[in-house]
Amino acid sequence: MRILGIETSCDETGVALYDSERGLLEHALFSQVDLHADYGGVVPELASRDHVRKLLPLVRQVMERSGTAPADLDGIAYTAGPGLVGALMVGACAGRALAYGWDVPAVEIHHMEGHLLAPMLEENPPAFPFVALLVSGGHTQLVDVRGLGEYELLGESLDDAAGEAFDKAAKMLDLDYPGGPRLAALAEKGDPSRFTFPRPMTDRPGLDFSFSGLKTYTLTTVRDNALEDGLPDEQTCADIAAAFQEAVVDTLVIKCRRALKATGRKTLVVAGGVSANKLLRERLEAALAKEGATACYPRHEFCTDNGAMIAYAGYLRLKAGQRADLGVEVRPRWPMTELQGGLAG
């Protein structure tokens, strides 16, 4: 099977072709980082308009570079949620229209399921069952994954997601958008032992997360150490960034170890934008090695939103018999637990 994947859930336009026999044939991505940088965050209307401009040229590019004609396709997969409603509509309408025009089936893909399956595009993919840590700007979830569509939510953030907390902490330190990667880079220059930040909800049982208190603690630390211009000196900013990052990473590692122990699993899949964080990978690998468990990640370019993960998820869903009808429906909020037994609920 050869599947065209389309991803337009937020601020990156991704298109890819996956072949069940040859693997990933081609993928292309256009990031809107420069477009939104002046606003310090994603502007939904601008994101939607840019998807309209970039999507079909990327489809043509991927098809031409892979030597694929419409007649070679066996299906088209597109992200139907969760995400920004306008951005989702662009990809869903285009994907459904192309599928109709080219007389191939279409399939709706859950964005976070795409992230969850992204490590399976690597040379040594994880096998079901496993525990997944889905950690991005909008989601922080621990999921017990028994198979395609067989998901049990073990824990999630009760307020800010980890990636969102990174971005907000970066704004407090006056770092440019996108803040998360810039805060991580600044943290490498800091001393994490200078400030002691809390590890939220680790002093009680359970697998839920909460990062809003950590965000408030960060703001208080910034203000307590601020100079006349409202910010601490450069080294203090780096030290705060390092302490903040340590607190988030430690919290994620503690909860991941608990989840593996609770389920008896020996494999942890980590996916989503924050999975690219260098310190998180180092701490997880060290902690899991002591317990005979392993961590699996997507390559760095597939940690953030991309069409490859949607194309691969589309292949699995089409293979399982799922099809989208002629109507176009997107779901800005879509619990992943509603995906059951290989078919969307």
How does pLDDT run across 282-338, given as a tens digit for each residue?
999 999 999 999 999 999 999 999 999 999 999 999 999 999 999 999 999 999 988
115 is in an annotated binding site: yes
The CA dihedral of 58, 60, 61, 64, to the nearest 10 degrees, is: 160
- What H or E segment, with its residue span, contains residue 177? none
139 is in an annotated binding site: no
CA geometry: angle 73, 76, 80, nearest 5 deg: 175
Residue 126 CA to residue 119 CA, distance in Å, equals 7
135 is in an annotated binding site: yes
Pairing between β-strand 12-19 and β-strand 2-7 as defined by DSSP bridges: antiparallel
Tens place of pLDDT for every residue, the chain, 345 residues? 999 999 999 999 999 999 999 999 999 999 999 999 999 999 999 999 999 999 999 999 999 999 999 999 999 999 999 999 999 999 999 999 999 999 999 999 999 999 999 999 999 999 999 999 999 888 999 999 999 999 999 999 999 999 999 999 999 999 999 999 999 999 999 999 999 999 999 999 999 999 999 999 999 999 999 999 899 999 999 999 999 999 999 999 999 999 999 999 999 999 999 999 999 999 999 999 999 999 999 999 999 999 999 999 999 999 999 999 999 999 999 999 888 665 443
212 is in an annotated binding site: no
Q: Whose CA is closest to 7, among 33, 30, 26? A: 30
Using CA atoms, how far residue 3 sits from 6, 165, 243, 331, in Å, is 10, 35, 44, 22
305 is in an annotated binding site: yes
pLDDT at residue number 229: 87
Residue 224 neighbours by CB under 8 Å, 6+ apart? none
How does pLDDT run across 79-117, given as a tens digit for each residue?
999 999 999 999 999 999 999 999 999 999 999 999 999
Cross-strand pairs, 156: 141
124 is in an annotated binding site: no
111 is in an annotated binding site: yes
Residue 192 CA to residue 172 CA, distance in Å, equals 17
Residue 304 CA to residue 306 CA, distance in Å, equals 6
What the chain holds in terms of domains, given with CATH numbers, is 2-118+302-338 (3.30.420.40), 128-297 (3.30.420.40)
306 is in an annotated binding site: no
Give the number of C-alpha atoms closer than 13 A to the C-alpha of residue 203, restricted to the C-beta side. 3
Residue 4: strand, helix, or coil: strand
213 is in an annotated binding site: no
